[in-house]
Homo-oligomer: A and B are copies of this chain.
Amino acid sequence: MTKSPRARDIGLQFDGTPGPLNAITDVAGITVGFSTVIEDPIAGVHNGLCTGVTAIIPRGASGDIEPVWAGIHSFNGNGELTGSHHIKDLGWFMGPVMLTNSHSVGIVSHATVGWMIARYPEVFAKDHMWCLPVVGETYDGALNDINARGVTEAHALQSLNTAATGPVSEGNVGGGTGMITYEFKGGTGTASRRVEIAGKSYDLGVLVQANHGTRDWLEISGVPVGRLMRDDLVAPSDLGSIIVVIATDAPLLPHQLDRLARRGGLGIGRNGTKGGHSSGDIFLAFSTANPQKNPWYAPDIMLLEALKDTHLDPLFAAAVQATEEAVVNAMIAATDRIAVKPKGKVVRAIDHQRLMEVIRAYRRT
């Protein structure tokens, strides 16, 4: 993994208590892998690639095909997260969550089907099991020649095959490589929270692919940073998107996970977004608790644990907090990139020193 500075490293503060890694991988069993695709222009082929693929495998550590219970919310539907009909109706999904650029959803989905079949040959060969991958996207056409469709099946497989537990790379990595956040360079970010509920400890982790917001909206720690840091503006309107993946080991039912997913909106709102029309803001929540066999092999009557409703608030707060921090982490870890459209435009990472001056001026450290 690439070690980049994180928001807390430069002095930013957030509410709540993170897990040991402050990453989605604090939820036991989850692995994350990346394929980062950066290529100089090749005449007649593409004008420069700056993109990639992120793989989040909920049961990556065990390798089991067991589904995870899940919920979803499309706060702003100008985007894509495939697999949603299945999740909404059945309340679970199998296999990984893949994130990439808008024009690579198809090839990444194709690769994921192949990977699943190869990984669980006995299941797919023996039974009529189908695979409907979960693939999300945000648009990187400013920094990446997105129309060249440069992501390949091999890239997707690389992200899947390198997925690991432990610390998670951030910034210009994987699906987040070519992303822009509040007109600063953005990308992949992660964070986590550990909460105590009725004497038990639960982890909740978030991974975002952050590509949303206009500069004037940007707030960090309650400070209107975007109005105070006006250099290197990129575009006059919100053209991006954000995918928020929320994972937890707390035992939640699908309808509770729908509710948890919906809190993603409050999370991204904390950095000032107004949910611009052109942004696809889609949130997925899943729980690794209640491991069940695939429905075909599950017991006739499943026995599930579920936190009672009035215990949800710490998890709701954790989702909001970790989403907020993950977005800022994406920006803090990111590094400058030069655009392919408009050609030569520099998209700057946020200046850490200047940011902290602003934050301190408003006494928010």
Q: Is B107 in contact with A106, judged by CB distance below 8 angstroms?
A: yes
Given contacts A89-B259, A109-B106, A280-B85, contact A79 B296 (CB under 8 A): no
Flag whether A301 is at the interface (Cβ < 8 A).
yes
- Which residue from chain B places its CB closest to the CB of A264 in the assembled complex? B265
Given contacts A106-B113, A113-B106, A307-B300, contact A312 B262 (CB under 8 A): no
Of the residues B79, B200, B307, B364, contact of A86 by C-beta under 8 Å: B79
Of the residues B78, B270, B277, B313, contact of A316 by C-beta under 8 Å: B277
A: number of interface residues (CB 8 Å): 106
> Interface segment, A1-9, A35-43, A131-139, A328-336?
A131-139
B-side contacts of A142, CB under 8 Å: 128
- Which residue from chain B places its CB closest to the CB of A274 in the assembled complex? B317
Flag whether A149 is at the interface (Cβ < 8 A).
yes
A108 to B304, CA, bound (A): 37
Given contacts A197-B300, A262-B275, contact A89 B109 (CB under 8 A): no
Report A's interface with B, CB cutoff 8 A. 74-91, 102-114, 117, 124-125, 128, 130-133, 135, 137, 139, 141-142, 146-147, 149, 197-200, 219, 221-224, 237-239, 251, 253-256, 258-259, 262-263, 265-266, 269-270, 273-278, 280, 282, 295-296, 298-313, 316-317, 320, 341, 361-364
